[in-house]
Amino acid sequence: MKHVDLLIERYPCLSVCREDIEAAVEAAVRMHGVGGKLLLAGNGGSAADCEHISGELLKGFLLERKPTENELEGLDPDIASGLQRGVAAIPLTSLTALSTAFANDACPENVFAQLVFALGRRGDVFLGISTSGNAENVCRAAETARARGLLTVAMTGESGGRLARICNISIRVPENETYKIQELHLPVYHAVCAQVEEILFGGTEQ
């Protein structure tokens, strides 16, 4: 995988994560192929990462991603000319009205679990980001996702925490301090997004 190779070349320390990074790419490609969506959850800086990832997937990242004629059928040409193909990705962190109401009225620890329960369907993928791997609301969401038949992916620090044990795929970057973990998470998910885009919209499988 070209973009994963480039990632490891730039960040040799991430070679220990290669297998899991490639597995995450393959999971996202399969998800898109069956019409699924990616649900993302995290807190603080990891919540910002969820927004960032969705931004790279929902529109063109490194490629132009021109839609096919069939996809644009029935659209006004002025609208159609400005559209790009996307990968369905929903940052659960952005649903603030629901999240704050549920946290206030029901159970704060279940905020993301509630969203996964309501939105998740078999064929979807859940991505939980937690530097410690122990964020309670993210772990509960991952457990809910697995119970609902979603494939689950974790992005954590080296220890992995509880989240890594819950998830099908665990990308555990080799750092233990929060800011250092976050500094490695960004190039990892950029590489994943770029590789998914290349496979789905670049006419290549590598």
Which residues, in sequence order, are CB contacts of 137 under 8 Å at separation 6+?
Answer: 41, 43, 108, 109, 110, 111, 112, 113
pLDDT per residue as tens, the chain (206 positions): 999 999 999 999 999 999 999 999 999 999 999 999 999 999 999 999 999 999 999 999 999 999 999 999 999 999 999 999 999 999 999 999 999 999 899 999 999 999 999 999 999 999 999 999 999 999 999 999 999 999 999 999 999 999 999 999 999 999 999 999 999 999 999 999 999 999 999 975 44
49 is in which domain, residue-wise? 2-201
Please report whether residue 206 resides in a domain: no
Please report whether residue 39 resides in a domain: yes
Please report whether residue 34 resides in a domain: yes
Please report whether residue 90 resides in a domain: yes
Q: What is the CATH number of the domain that holds 77?
A: 3.40.50.10490
Dihedrals phi, psi of 185, to nearest 5 degrees: -60, -40
Please report whether residue 149 resides in a domain: yes
Q: What was the pLDDT predicted at 203?
A: 74
**pTM, 2 dp:** 0.95
Please report whether residue 76 resides in a domain: yes
Distance between CA atoms of 178 and 182, rounded to whole angstroms? 6
Distance between CA atoms of 135 and 128, rounded to whole angstroms? 9
Task: Select from 65, 61, 57 the least CA-distant residue to 29.
Answer: 57
Read off the tokens for 25.
Answer: 């790419």
Q: What was the pLDDT predicted at 204?
A: 54
Number of independent structural domains in the chain: 1
Please report whether residue 106 resides in a domain: yes
Q: What was the pLDDT predicted at 206?
A: 43
| DSSP state at residue 63 | S
Please report whether residue 178 resides in a domain: yes
